[in-house]
Amino acid sequence: MNQIRLDKFVAERTEFSRSQIKALVKKGEIRVDGSPARTSDVKIDPEVQRITVQGKDIIFREHTYVLLNKPDGYVCSTDPKDGQTVMELVPPELRTKGMFPAGRLDKDSLGALLLTDDGELAHRILSPKSHIPKIYIVKLDRPFEIKYINLFGEGITLSSGEQCLPARVKPVENCDKLAFIELFEGKYHQVKRMFAAVGNHVEFLMRVSLGGLVLPEKLGIGQCMELLHKDVENLTKPLDFDSFCRDFSVIFSAIVINK
C-alpha cells in the first residue's frame, strides 16, 4: 500500500479527530512499530507497520463490516434527529467515520443489519439486480394459507399498485402463524405490505439472513460483531431457501415464540 499520513489513518479508524490525534502524539500515546510517533503527519505504511493508540492495535483494513442483531425501537439512520439510532448500538472501537446501516429494517423490526463504511458492497447487497436474498421470519395475526405460496411466487401487487418481484414463502412446520419469506429487493415496509395484500397482518418481523450470512444464534438481540473477511464474502453468496428453512426453523421459531 502507498504510504499515508498517520493522523489520516488513525482518524479514519477511530473516533479521534485530527486535533485529538495531535494531542495524543504529543503525549506519546500513539506508537509506530513500538516507538512513539514523532509527529501526527508522519507517513506510515499500515500494511507493514504496527500502529497503536493508547496501547490498542489499529488493524489495517480498508473497510469495517459490523453485523447487528437489531432490537425493536431503534431506527436505521445515522442522524440522531431521527430518534434512537442503530449507530448507538455499535461499540466505539468498531465505529468508523462514514459507517451507515446498509439497508433498512423498520423501527419495530429485529434481526440482521449490516453496518459498514463500504458503499460499494452495501449497494451490491441491496440492489435487486445482484439477486442477493434476504430471509425474514414473520409472526402472522392469522394462520398462513397455502395459497400464499403461489401468490407470492407470482409477484404480489401492493395496495399502492407497486409490483413486487416473485418471492418465496414457507410456513414453519407445526406453527401455523409463523413463516419464512425470501426477498431480493427492499421496498418500504415490503414484507408487512405483502402480507397485508393477501389479507393477513405481520405482528413480528425478524431478518434472519443476508445473502449467505445467517444471523448467528450466539449474537443476542442488540449485540454487534465485527465480520471477518470470510463472513463478508458470504454476504454476496446465495443461500438455498429450502435448506435454510429446514436447517434453521427450530432455532428461529424458538426465538420468535419466546419473544
- Residues in contact with ligand URA by CB under 6 A are 105-106, 109, 189-192, 205
Q: Which CB, 10 or 178, lies closer to ligand URA?
A: 178
Q: Which CB, 29 or 72, lies closer to ligand URA?
A: 72
Q: What is the DSSP letter of 130?
A: G
Catalytic residue among 41, 72, 106, 231: 106
CA dihedral 232, 65, 139, 193 (to 10 degrees): -100
Determine the 3-state secondary structure of 115 from DSSP.
strand
Active-site residue flag, 106? yes
CB of 110 to ligand URA, least distance (A): 9
Cα angle, residue 77 at apex, residues 178 and 74 outer, rounded to 5°: 45
CB of 39 to ligand URA, least distance (A): 48
Q: Which CB, 64 or 190, lies closer to ligand URA?
A: 190
Helices (H) and strands (E) in the chain, counts: 7, 15
How far apart are alpha carbons 238 and 13 in whole angstroms? 30
* DSSP-assigned beta bridge partners for residue 213: 210
Q: What is the CA radius of gyration of the chain?
A: 22
Q: Which CB, 205 or 224, lies closer to ligand URA?
A: 205
Hey, which bits of the chain come out as E strands? Answer: 4-5, 30-32, 35-36, 43-44, 51-53, 56-57, 65-70, 100-102, 110-116, 134-140, 168-172, 175-183, 202-210, 213-214, 224-226
**C-alpha cell at position 233:** 464474502
Q: Which CB, 205 or 245, lies closer to ligand URA?
A: 205
CA proximity to 152, closest of 129, 131, 168, 141: 168
Catalytic residue ranges? 106
